[in-house]
Amino acid sequence: MNNNQFIFSDPAPYPSIEVCEKNRMYAKAMLANVGSCNSEMSAVSLYFYNCVITKHPFPEISECFHKISIVEMHHLQIFSELASLCGADPRLWSFYGGRARYWSPGCNFYSAELSTLLRNAISGEKKAIEQYRQQLNWIEDIHIRENLEHIIKDELCHVTIFESLYDQFCS
């Protein structure tokens, strides 16, 4: 397998990280993307784990997890900066029912079995895409929308990679 065949992020440049104005609701949405169980922090931490445990039996898969985790770290930074610009403290937390909940590694499902690990990665990417598309339905700030749209394209690249790896190694 040649990892050069994969595109790890959309080739277009990322939009600028700015907002039209502070907005509490947008800030909370961005914090959900930063520090909820369905968040970029969860993806970064899980893909780091997956990279480590797949390294010796499947170095090509490990390298993919490493490269994708770098893209996810960039998403984490984008959403954190957007949350901050919208007026939120960009900690690794999210808000539900008016209460702050800190992110925890307990959010992740850790599997050492390759097919489960890849199916979990595919599912996580698809859940993130759905969350970002739902945010696009109500967020009106053009700058946040542009960032969400670009990040969705990146996540679609990740789905394609993980599905390809699953087909190659688990079918």
Q: Annotate 25-55 with three-state secondary structure.
A: HHHHHHHHHHHCCCCHHHHHHHHHHHHHHHC
Predicted TM-score of the model (pTM): 0.96
- For residue 97, give both structure tokens: 């029912």
Amino acid 2: pLDDT: 67
- Contact criterion met (CB below 8 Å) for 10 and 129: no
CATH fold of 21-170: Ferritin (1.20.1260)
Provide the pLDDT for residue 96: 87
Taking the domains of the chain in order of start, what are their residue ranges? 21-170
pLDDT value for 38:
97
H or E segment to which residue 115 belongs: helix 114-136
The two tokens of residue 20 are 């039209």
pLDDT in tens, the chain (171 residues): 667 789 999 999 999 999 999 999 999 999 999 999 999 999 999 999 999 999 999 999 999 999 999 999 999 999 999 999 999 999 999 998 889 999 999 999 999 999 999 999 999 999 999 999 999 999 999 999 999 999 999 999 999 999 999 999 998
Specify the pLDDT at position 16. Answer: 98
In sequence order, the 6+-apart residues with CB closer than 8 A to the CB of 113 are none
CA distances from 168 to 84, 117, 125 (A): 41, 14, 19
CA–CA gap between residue 81 and residue 86 (Å, rounded): 9
